[in-house]
């Protein structure tokens, strides 16, 4: 089992930027895809972005494409989410997660992830 701890959330004005980090421990990090999801009040948890275990491929929800960038540093067991041009509708709790399956090509569904962080709040004011 892997333990995940997110950081970097906060309050930002529309148009601003934040960088989220997710530090992993307890299990091999490099062989698993990592994902970012978010959940706004009253809504279901939704996919934001994922990065392949090698870091070679990335995928984004249409709502964040062109504004967010996911990356990973396997030497530091950390995955990042750079969020630019933030909008009020980006307000949510952001969770990082680790894929259940070793060296799967891509995972974009909640039930494909087996370990989750506690979440970090991102609030974007208009």
Give me the DSSP letters along 53-118. TTS--EEE-TTTTTTEEEEEETTTTEEEEEE-S--GGG-EEEEEEEESSTT-S---SGGGEEEE--
What pLDDT digit, counting tens, does each position of 43-70 carry? 999 999 999 998 889 999 999 999 999 9
Give residue 82's pLDDT: 98
Give residue 42's pLDDT: 95
Flag residues of the chain having pLDDT under 50.
Answer: none
According to DSSP, the β-strands at 113-116 and 78-83 are: unpaired
Give residue 105's pLDDT: 85
Task: Give the whole-angstrom CA distance, residue 62 versus residue 6.
Answer: 23
Q: Nearest 5°: phi and psi at 110?
A: -55, -45
């Amino acid at each position: 089992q892997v333990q995940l701890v997110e950081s970097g959330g906060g309050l930002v004005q529309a148009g601003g930027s934040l960088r989220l980090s997710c530090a992993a421990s307890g299990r091999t990090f490099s062989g698993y895809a990592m994902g970012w999801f978010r959940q706004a009040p009253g809504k279901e948890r939704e996919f934001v972005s994922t990065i392949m275990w090698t870091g070679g491929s990335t995928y984004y929800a249409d709502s964040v494409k062109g504004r967010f960038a996911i990356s990973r540093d396997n030497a530091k067991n950390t995955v990042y989410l750079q969020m630019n041009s933030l909008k009020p509708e980006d307000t949510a709790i952001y969770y990082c997660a680790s894929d259940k399956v070793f060296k799967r090509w891509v995972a974009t569904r909640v039930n494909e992830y087996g370990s989750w962080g506690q979440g970090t709040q991102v609030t974007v004011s208009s």
